[in-house]
Amino acid sequence: MKRRLLLVSNSTLHGGGYLQHFASNLTRRILFVPYALHDRDAYSKTARDKFKTLGYEVDSVHETPDPVDAVRKAEGIFIGGGNTFRLLKSLYDSKLVTEIRKRVLEDGIPYMGSSAGTNVSTISINTTNDMPIVYPPTFAAIGLVPFNINPHYLDADPNSKHMGETREQRIVQYHEEPDTPCVLGLREGSMLLVEGSKATLLGSTKARLFQRGKHTTEYEPGSDLSFLLTDAQ
């Protein structure tokens, strides 16, 4: 499988250095998907300005007359952060879910996602932190990897008086449901590089892996997480 993914925890356009390394020698043109934010023009301008400093040209899918055709011709795709529900609904409304999966898994074009863009690259958006501001036709997502990610993973604050559930409790509740896949909690500053059947944790922070019915495990940056890519976990 030609799969080549960079899945970043943070919501904004961080990880520039990794991104440059990731996409270099692959493409100089990136198709940007701004669907997670309301103001697509402003978001595309921000992305275009940022990528220009890294040496990339950006086309925004919302500026093209035919989004499906734009994906078919894309040399690389970057989906930015914002609201995951809005993003997934827009991807389905524009009929891009299947097309992106095909381009990335079969044709091998590089995929970069940050926050919501990372969520939609996994099996489903069941482990997003976002508010469900719109109703997508399903929570099933693009499925570039056979597990889920929780971006912006946050450790419980022992001094907090807030009575809502901790992030860990929420993910444990997810695993109370039947047939739920692994969840990789990516803290701020963390990202996952996937090259074919190899997955490596990059960045400056540890990641926390939740597996249904098993103990949770912490992984240091640099860890080989390729075992997550086999379907039978």
Helix (H, G, I), strand (E, B) or coil at 209: strand
When the beta carbons of 94 and 190 are compared against a second copy, the nearer one is 190
Three-state SS string over 128-168 comes to CCCCCCCCCCCCECCCCCCCEEEEEECCCCCCCCCCCCCHH
Single out the residue of 177, 169, 152 nearest to residue 216, CA to CA: 169
What's the min distance (Å) between Cβ of 66 and a second copy?
25
Binding track over 125-164 against a second copy, x by CB under 8 A: xxxxxxxxxxx--xx------------x-x------xxxx
Taking the least distance from each CB to a second copy, the nearer of 5 and 125 is 125
Instruction: Work out whether 12 is an interface residue with a second copy (CB under 8 A).
Output: yes
Site mask for a second copy (CB under 8 A), range 22-51, x = bound: ----------------x-------------
Phi and psi at 164, nearest 5°, equal -70, 170
Selection from 232, 205, 214 nearest residue 223 by Cα: 205
Phi, psi of 168 (to 5 degrees): -60, -45
Q: Could you give the CA distance from residue 122 to residue 127 in angstroms, rounded to a whole number?
A: 10
Catalytic residues: 115, 130, 152
- Of the ranges 71-79, 171-179, 190-198, 212-220, which one interacts with a second copy (CB under 8 A)? 171-179
Spatial strand order of the sheet with 183-187 comes to: 148-153, 183-187, 207-210, 217-219
**Residue closer to a second copy (CB basis): 166 or 200:** 166
Beta bridge partner(s), residue 114:
8
Interface residue with a second copy, options 4, 5, 8, 11 (CB under 8 A):
11
In whole angstroms, the minimum distance from the beta carbon of 167 to a second copy comes to 9
Q: Judged by CB under 8 A, which of 86, 104, 186, 208 binds a second copy?
A: 86
Name the residue nearer to a second copy (CB basis): 188 or 195: 188
Contact 123, 145 (CB under 8 A): yes
Q: Name the minimum Å distance from CB 163 to a second copy.
A: 6
Q: Which residues bind a second copy (CB under 8 A)?
A: 10-12, 38, 82-83, 85-86, 115, 125-135, 138-139, 152, 154, 161-165, 170-171, 173-174, 176-177, 180, 188
